[in-house]
A = this chain, B = another copy of it.
Amino acid sequence: MRNLSLMTDLYELTMMNGYSVLGSAEKTAVFDLFFRQQGQISYAVAAGLAQAIEYIDNLHFDEEDIKYLKEAAGFNDKFLSELRSFKFTGDIFAVPEGTLVFPNEPIVIVRAPLSQAQLIEPALLNIINHQTLIATKASRVKKSAGNASVSEFGLRRAQGPDAGIYGARASIIGGCGGTSNVLAGQLFDIPIKGTMAHSWVMSFDSELEAFRKFAEIYPDNTLLLVDTYDTLRSGVPNAIKVFDELKSRGKKPVGIRLDSGDLAYLSKKARKMLDDAGHKDAIIFASCDLDEYVISSLNEQGARIDAYGVGTRLITSESMPSLGGVYKLAELTENGVRIPKIKISDTHDKITNPGFKTLYRVYDGDGKAFADLISLDDEIYDGTKPLTLTHPTMRWKSTTLDVYSMRKLLVPVYKNGQRVYDPPALSESAKYAEREKASFWDEYMRNVNPEIYKVDLSDGLYELKSRLIAEHTGGRA
């Protein structure tokens, strides 16, 4: 793990230096990390917590860092000396990786001395924004692919090494079954996938020889790339020849890969050619500028594709390349008094939710997720009384549930700077994400025009928010 402690925005350190001068660095602050409704996103698959934890666990400033900050930013010696012994001493609550999350609800809450909470803002956002974005995109792609498997193939187009490595990781949480990225495979125990490149085929005198040699070396793993010259007139016939030869040696061919052209047409034609030649078990693997929309279109056209390799548009989340997560002050303790904070905006849905909060998922009598509920931390829900959920802004719209259950989504990760949570293995988070998705009605999960899942405010939070809005708009400034 590299030391990312300086991976913060200058203004965080500028403010920390200021708080140090003013003696307010130790005031306890509460910050919420959440994302807002944007673009095509109806839900997100939370990811990145394991790397956020590595970052927090490794926070420290070397003498070289201190020297740099003195020269480049001119901070005062008292502050720089405080950085020398910097240690995170606060609390962090977060939803486990793989949790389905929705706009405006806190997915990470940091309660820590103000300075510390500021320092970690950019790195926390960077890590959680990125991996949640890619896990979400992977989930959308897998949704379109249905029973076909999806592998992440985007390393060469990822936005730098980490985007390739952690993007591969996040795609597994989102629903991919493997990655082409060997380093990600090694680091996170992900199945690694791959076939051959066009350059393999081009490095032999003929396509048939290229296929034959591959089958000789990998008799149990013969997946042949058939589009180097002419898919249907050369690639598939040559593949069939080699599959016949494999079979005669008692081996089972894996299948073919299409990487260009009209995948719907080619897959249907190739399927028939393979079937007619007695290779009904040979799979068709497809890649080439895929995403959830292209795959849905292929399905509509009756394409015969068993497995997908998805690259650029997955690893960059091309249709929406940032999640837009934010980190907003919700409470500040002054002279022992906890003061809830709100950020007012001209846009109603950009007004923040004040106070130290928690997040519940409410399930209906069928055990399906019904709504999420953001409440103040000290409001008590014991599950014994009927539960009335109200629309976050239109309070007259409400629903009362007699039979329901509730689950706290945020788990303690740090308590007074001590880590109290171990992230599960990646494969466990992927399984958990699958269970999460199964607990939602399909209407919320579809990729186009989904039903909007309700995220409601508790009575206590609603009243607090209304009071603070009134205070601010009634004369402040």
Q: Which residues of chain A have a CB within 8 Å of any CB of chain B?
A: 2, 4, 6-15, 17-19, 21-22, 24, 27, 29, 31, 65, 68-69, 72-73, 114, 118, 121-123, 125-127, 129-131, 133-134, 153, 155-167, 180-183, 185-186, 192-200, 202-203, 207, 213-214, 217-218, 228-230, 233-234, 260-261, 312, 316-318, 321-325, 327-329, 332, 341, 343-346, 472, 476-477
Contact = CB atoms under 8 A, between A and B. Distances in A.
B155 A126 contact: yes
A132 to B, nearest CB: 11
A329 B11 CA distance: 47
13 contacts: A4-B161, A14-B196, A15-B200, A118-B199, A122-B164, A122-B180, A122-B181, A134-B159, A156-B327, A157-B323, A158-B159, A159-B322, A163-B163
Given A156-B122, A195-B11, A114 B186 contact: no
A14 B229 contact: no
Contacts of A118: 197, 199
B214 A130 contact: no
Nearest to A332: B203
Contact of A125 (B157, B162, B193, B472): B157
Contacts of A159: 130, 133-134, 158-160, 162-163, 167, 316, 321-322
Given A8-B182, A185-B72, A324-B157, A14 B260 contact: no
A159 B322 CA distance: 8
A24 B247 CA distance: 27
Contacts of A24: 203
A317 B158 CA distance: 12
Given A24-B203, A162-B162, A203-B29, A197 B126 contact: no
Contacts of A129: 156-157
B316 A312 contact: no
A477 B10 contact: no
Contacts of A130: 158-160, 163
Nearest to A257: B11
A82 B51 CA distance: 34
A51 to B, nearest CB: 9
A158 B192 CA distance: 26
A196 B343 contact: no
B200 A18 contact: yes
A92 to B, nearest CB: 17
Contacts of A332: 202-203
Given A207-B477, A229-B344, A341-B202, A18 B214 contact: yes
Contacts of A321: 159, 316-318, 321
B197 A15 contact: yes
B164 A230 contact: no
A335 B403 CA distance: 78
A321 B291 CA distance: 14
A316 B323 CA distance: 11
A401 to B, nearest CB: 36
A406 to B, nearest CB: 31
Contacts of A324: 157, 312
B230 A193 contact: no
Nearest to A207: B477
Nearest to A237: B477
A234 B165 CA distance: 46
